Amino acid sequence: MWKKACLSFFIVLLALSSCQTGEDPIPALDADRGKSYFFMVENKYREYNVREIRYSAVNISDTLVYQLREEVRESFINSQGEESRIIHRLTRDNDTQPWVLDSVWTARIEKDRAVSIENNISIVKMVFPSQAERVWDGNIFNTKAVDQFKILNFGVLTNIAVNNDLETTSTMTIEQENDEDGITFKNIRREVYADSIGLISKLYNVVKICSRSECLGQQLIESGRFYRETIYAHGFIDED
């Protein structure tokens, strides 16, 4: 499992380094550009290696290493008359154990946005047409403070190793936050999506750094959470 996790993380680094850059936004080819990156097709599954560290005090933390599986299930019409998809999220410690249902999320693709309801919080994960440098408020449908998400760039990822096969696909990197002062806090949140696959990488590093006199200059984490999720397999349930 560790070999797969390291390989997946290396692949994501390649995705970030191979993305297109430039000052001018990439124009949308059509009004639907971006929807296939969210990829909420029924019976689609994605499996990830996860490493999570929860910090509760200086030098006190809890590290979790496990696997996560997302299954896109049937659709339903929500209270606003919009079609949504049920997402089953299953976890296990390693690939010798059976999957166990952990939670149920929902997601929908509207005309100009993709919305994910995670633990009863609605988040606008993507906007359409998707263009590099485009910015939007990810929290527009919840009561949290404004949180500006941004499409950093598009790129081409070659030789993505999943299901023991090599694939070539295009990627979209979305930055949810990139803020730190190097002294008291760090808030870095980024997701990478692949065309016709969906989410392939998620990085959250939101921590408070101890700024008391005995901690200064040591970069000791006082509280917060580190979370890294990288894909290692995907496909359709009826093909298993």
CA-CA distances (angstroms) from residue 198 to 33, 59, 138, 178, 191?
A: 14, 36, 18, 22, 10
> How many C-beta neighbours within 10 Å does residue 58 have?
16
Residue 79's φ and ψ, nearest 5 degrees, are -65, -20
**pLDDT tens digits for 100-131?**
999 999 999 988 999 999 999 999 999 999 99
What's residue 205's pLDDT? 97
CA distance 230 to 68: 10
Question: What DSSP letter does each residue of 80-107 carry, written as one string?
Answer: TS-EEEEEEEEEESSTTS--EEEEEEEE
What's residue 29's pLDDT? 52
What's residue 158's pLDDT? 61
Q: Split the chain (240 residues) into runs of 10 and give each run's mean pLDDT.
A: 42 42 48 88 95 96 98 91 94 97 96 95 96 96 97 80 68 95 93 94 96 87 97 85
The token pair that represents 38 in the structure block? 């969210």
**pLDDT tens digits for 130-163?**
999 999 999 999 999 999 999 999 988 766 656 6
What's residue 143's pLDDT? 96
Structural domain range at position 180? 2-239
Q: Angle at Cα 42 formed by Cα 39 and Cα 43, nearest 5°?
A: 105
CATH number at residue 166: 2.40.360
If one counts the domains in the chain, the total is: 1
What's residue 15's pLDDT? 42
What's residue 157's pLDDT? 74
